[in-house]
Structure 1
Amino acid sequence: MTNRDDSVDPVHRKASFAQTVRAVLWSFIGLRKGSEHESDMARLNPVHVIIAGLIAAAVFVTVLILVVRTVVSQS
């Protein structure tokens, strides 16, 4: 008989980093079902969420800068 505890230490949750990146990218877009959000909160590692969020934000800002430089240099 296994004793499953839903209050697992947040750092030792079982979602992979790829699953975390997927959840972070969906949150950037703003399209999330409430049920998916709740299930993600139970299994995502908060450290992975922070790292994925910082990486996604850096990529987003870099893409914006490159687009602006391309548009400005062509005009």
Structure 2
Amino acid sequence: MSDNGGSRKASFGQSMKAVFWAFFGVRKRSDLESDATQLNPLHVVAAALIGAAIFAGILLLVVRAVVK
């Protein structure tokens, strides 16, 4: 059983890229299907948390710049 076609081989960077595009809501169906089989769910959760923190930080910086 050395050949398991559904093995997850994607790197954390690929998970970040997938989450980045998911934030915008633009993904090809073929990319979505390949992500579902290759991405590590823990990487996706970590990437989503990092992405959300970056997004919140950018929003805070923009609000502070506008309010001053």
- TM-score, normalised with respect to structure 1: 0.83
Percent pairwise identity: 51
1:72 to 2:67 alignment: yes
Distance between the aligned counterparts of 2:38 and 2:48, measured in 1?
A: 16
Output the CA distance in 2 between the equivalents of 1:33 and 1:54.
23
Unpaired runs of at least 5, structure 2: none
Whole-Å Cα distance in 1 between the matches of residues 61 and 11 of structure 2?
A: 31
Corresponding residue to 2:26 among 26, 31, 34: 31
Counting matched residue pairs gives 68
* 1:14 correspondence with 2:9: yes
Secondary structure at the residue paired with 1:31?
A: coil
- What's 1:44 paired with? 39
Unpaired stretches in structure 1, ≥5 consecutive residues: none
Partner residue in 2 for 1:4: 3
Q: What is the TM-score when the length of structure 2 is the normalising length?
A: 0.91
Partner amino acid, structure 1, of 2:4: D
